[in-house]
Amino acid sequence: MDAFAPKTKEEQEKEERTYQPYTEIMSTLPKVRGFAPQHLYNHQGFWYTESNLPRVMAVQNHFIAHSSDILLATNPKCGTTWLKSLIFAICNRKLHPSTQHPLLTVNSHQLVPFLELLYTNNEIPDLDILPSPRLLATHIPYSSLPQSVLDSGCPLVYMCRNPKDTFVSWWHFLNKISNKELKPSTLEEAFEMFCNGASIVGPFWDHVLDYWRASLDRPQCVMFLKYEEMQAETIVHVKRLAKFVRCPFSLEEEKEGVVDEIIRLCSYENLSRLEVNKTGEAMFGENEIKFHTFFRKGKVGDSSNYLTAEMTERLDRISEQKFHGYGLTLN
């Protein structure tokens, strides 16, 4: 059943009235020029695009989490596609043989949708019709999540990435999805905005720190992962991930190579060469995005090919200042 099943005219008008106050609230918020370039609006200390902020507000007011939900959270360009693939494969491994796996023909962003993008076209979707466990993703900061998520105790997995690679990957992504009407900023312009916090759901460091502190306060509910560590010791962290989302691998599965099989299936090398990810596309909010734009390199340290020594030093200095006293480092 479709979460966006046809609705009556009366239902549509009611939902449109629900969204109207969000537009009015936005008119009172601070705004700055963002990456794209487009304006970003500051809501609860973080920056959102004009199109996405009403959706975030709708999620905050209407999404009801279940204890069985599994929620993935990231800052954009921090390994989201990889994490979605891993979670889907882990949780559904008993349902799909590797030779007929959905990931072979369906992009992971369709299998694990962004929660805020389900609240589109001024609609309030009926997410209770989705099968349990509901696998959902979000870029919303921890402190801005709906209270129901915190109350439900559902597993919340956060993955971050060092700010240098995150910034460069994000800038390349915006270049790929730009068009004649929407030209991205130059690397230097975007870098200044990123350092000043004016990026989607930025400041980047506040977003990371938000989830880091939550993982320390509520380790039974919030798991904090680093992209670089996932790359270096994938088997170790995939097993940790499976246990955290209540789908642990049995000793028999480990002996049979199930963990290795999932890692191979979800690897950058495998996913990026699949036909669906080379030629497919889908709507993400108001934007039609080709799946191949989600696959650039995925390599740790690639930012060194784009950032000057001064840029690198500046990002490192900001990280040191922002994370000082919290026991967190992102190299």
Instruction: Show which residues are catalytic.
Output: 139
81, amino acid identity: T
**Which secondary-structure segment (H or E) carries 16?**
helix 9-26
Sheet arrangement for strand 70-74? 135-138, 70-74, 156-160, 222-226
Contact 125, 58 (CB under 8 A): no
- At 188 the three-state DSSP class reads helix
Q: How far apart are CA 319 and CA 155, in angstroms?
A: 27
Residue 306 CB-density burial (10 A; 0-12 exposed, 13-18 middle, 19+ buried): middle
Q: Look at residues 47, 21, 43 and name the one whose alpha carbon lies nearest to residue 34.
A: 47
Q: How far is CA 170 from the centre of its chain?
A: 12
Question: In angstroms, what CA-CA distances link 94 with 20, 98, 112, 256, 262?
Answer: 44, 10, 17, 13, 12
Pair 83, 271: CB distance under 8 Å: no
The DSSP H or E segment spanning 216 is helix 204-217
- The burial class, CB within 10 Å (0-12 / 13-18 / 19+), for 1 is exposed
SS3 71: strand
Using left for φ > 0, alpha for ψ between -120 and 50, and beta otherwise, residue 166 falls in alpha
| Token pair in block for residue 139 | 């870029």
Distance between CA atoms of 170 and 139, rounded to whole angstroms?
A: 14
- CA 181 from centre of chain: 25
Q: Which residue has the tokens 């993703």?
A: 137
291 near 276, Cβ under 8 Å?
yes
